[in-house]
Amino acid sequence: MTRADIEALVEDDRVHRDLYLSEELFALEQRHFFANTWNFAGHASQLPNAGDFITVTIAGQPLLLVRQADGTVRALHNRCAHKGAQLATEACGNTGRFFRCPYHAWTYKLDGAPLATPLRAGYEGTRLAQCESGRGMEPVAGFAEYRDFLFVKLNPLGPDFEAYCGELLRVIDSLVDRSPAGKLNVAGGVLRSVVNCNWKMYLENINDTVHPVSTHESASATAARMWAGQPADAPKPMAIEQMLPFAEGYDFFDRMGGRVHPNGHSVLGTKFSIHSAYGQLGDYEAALRAAHGDARAEEVLTRAPQNAVIFPSLSIKCSPQAIRVIRPLAADRTLIEAWSFRVAGAPELLLQRAVTYNRLVFSPMSVVAHDDLHLFESMQRGLASGTNPWVSLHRDFRAEELAGGVREVNGTNELLMRNQFRAWLRFMTLDLPD
């Protein structure tokens, strides 16, 4: 597949079905697109102590992140310099003061430098010390830590981390500043599900405000029926409070507003969101004002988008404090992780909201996600049918938007998705010859 073949798949207002269906394209995405973009790797609170590590696969490559004795975090390729065995195969753990390969017991310091090799004398007079295998574990080319959010980029090409994320870093600020102490900790475990669709289909849906009315009708109508007849001021159980807004109409979702940013990023719900009506907590507000000042506390409480996407791997909710991580596995398989945060210095209720929301809406036993998953699988099959190879992204298309940059739009504007595909094309072809 040449650069021109790839470029022909993304038009101004529609994209080709091969973007979702082609295994060949998926392999190219791993090598080029994912290696050329900054991807979320984990949260520093997963690694509280020296020797703590997490393993993660990005761009098809096994990596590990490990806390050093000096408190910093490093990202390394999870590959023994000898013959390639992985130094850690668990999702997380503590390796102690060094890594020891289970195959022939080569050892490495926490920063990946070689430590010891059995039968050392056998290497005297050989070229080992001068070659890649003598250098130890390979560092990941790009690693960035921003307010405990850890990102990697495998390919040294392309924008640095700050330039890549741009104003989306302010969303991370808003999330972290929900803590009067400026500290979040992952809590409540992680909910992992493998969905049978292309990763782009999932990511696109995060910005799809037209589907809840029809797709999630059974879930929201059930909540509405259960709550029917209650006085308007009756305090709602948490699940009812979280489910009812799914029934809002097209107008609500249109008015909530969205914003697109360079590099495929977006903020949905710039004016309000389905989470805006959650009850406020007096003591918590007072603690935020004391910690950050009135103006910043106000900003943090009101600027809580429904979904902010740091393309292509992270979706953030500021309230409830929850993130989704998107990990592609194959053209038609994607791992989704939903994480909740405990907010230091804030009532435990905030964590309960995040955990409840993740369980209700994003988990395998959710009453909402199965609606989406059914449709994702259905589209994955339906797209292969017939002579029309195109997926329509025409809604609210205007030629001016092709100039790029930051744009404020209505909440149902498919520019939120077109913007992702334009960035996909850019990073997919960044290292391809013309």
Choose the binding region for ligand FES from 102-110, 142-150, 226-234, 238-246 (rule: CB under 6 A): 102-110
Among 35, 54, 64, 101, which residue sits at the site for ligand FES (rule: CB under 6 A)? 101
Q: Contact between 109 and ligand FES (CB under 6 A)? A: no
Q: Contact between 123 and ligand FES (CB under 6 A)? A: no
CA proximity to 333, closest of 382, 376, 366, 370: 376
Q: Contact between 192 and ligand FES (CB under 6 A)? A: no
Q: Which of residues 362-381 bind Fe ion (CB under 5 A)?
A: 372
**Smallest distance, Å, CB 111 to ligand FES?**
17
83 binds, among ligand FES, Fe ion, none (CB under 5 to 8 A by kind): ligand FES
> Edge-to-edge, what's the strand order for the sheet holding 61-67?
73-77, 61-67, 52-58, 92-94
Q: Contact between 170 and ligand FES (CB under 6 A)? A: no
296 binds, among ligand FES, Fe ion, none (CB under 5 to 8 A by kind): none
DSSP string, 308-359: EEETTTEEEETTTTEEEEEEEEETTEEEEEEEEEEETTS-THHHHHHHHHII
Residue among 52 and 372 whose Cβ is closer to Fe ion = 372
For residue 229, the one-letter residue type is: G
Beta-sheet pairing, 333-343 with 407-409: unpaired
Do 270 and 258 contact (CB within 8 A), yes or no? yes
Binding mask 102-131 for Fe ion (x = CB under 5 A): ------------------------------
103 binds, among Fe ion, ligand FES, none (CB under 5 to 8 A by kind): ligand FES
Q: Contact between 103 and ligand FES (CB under 6 A)? A: yes
Q: Which of residues 251-290 bind Fe ion (CB under 5 A)?
A: none
> Edge-to-edge, what's the strand order for the sheet holding 266-268?
184-195, 333-343, 322-330, 314-317, 307-310, 266-268, 258-260, 407-409
Residue written as token pair 């077109």: 418
- String of b and e for 276-285 (b: at least 16 CB within 10 Å)? eebeeeeebe
Q: Which of residues 58-87 bind ligand FES (CB under 6 A)?
A: 80, 82-83, 85
**Smallest distance, Å, CB 66 to ligand FES?**
17
CA proximity to 41, closest of 109, 137, 143: 143
394 binds, among Fe ion, ligand FES, none (CB under 5 to 8 A by kind): none
381 binds, among Fe ion, ligand FES, none (CB under 5 to 8 A by kind): none
Beta-sheet pairing, 52-58 with 61-67: antiparallel
Residue among 253 and 311 whose Cβ is closer to Fe ion = 253
What radius of gyration do the chain's Cα atoms show? 23
Q: Contact between 88 and ligand FES (CB under 6 A)? A: no
372 binds, among Fe ion, ligand FES, none (CB under 5 to 8 A by kind): Fe ion
Residue written as token pair 């808003």: 174
Residue among 204 and 372 whose Cβ is closer to Fe ion = 372
Do 97 and 52 contact (CB within 8 A), yes or no? no
Among 3, 7, 12, 104, which residue sits at the site for ligand FES (rule: CB under 6 A)? 104
Q: Residues, the chain, total?
A: 434
Residue among 18 and 372 whose Cβ is closer to Fe ion = 372
Residue among 124 and 400 whose Cβ is closer to ligand FES = 124
The dihedrals phi and psi of 273, each to the nearest 5 degrees, come to: -150, 180
Beta-sheet pairing, 258-260 with 266-268: antiparallel
Do 317 and 279 contact (CB within 8 A), yes or no? no
Do 215 and 253 contact (CB within 8 A), yes or no? no
In whole angstroms, give the CA distance from residue 355 to residue 61.
30
Choose the binding region for ligand FES from 34-42, 103-111, 274-282, 307-315 (rule: CB under 6 A): 103-111
149: Cβ–Cβ under 8 A, 6 or more apart, which residues? 40, 43, 44, 172, 314
Q: Contact between 414 and Fe ion (CB under 5 A)? A: no
**Smallest distance, Å, CB 121 to ligand FES?**
17
Among 38, 106, 143, 427, which residue sits at the site for ligand FES (rule: CB under 6 A)? 106
Please give the residue ranges that form the binding site for Fe ion (CB under 5 A).
372
Please give the residue ranges that form the binding site for ligand FES (CB under 6 A).
80, 82-83, 85, 101, 103-104, 106
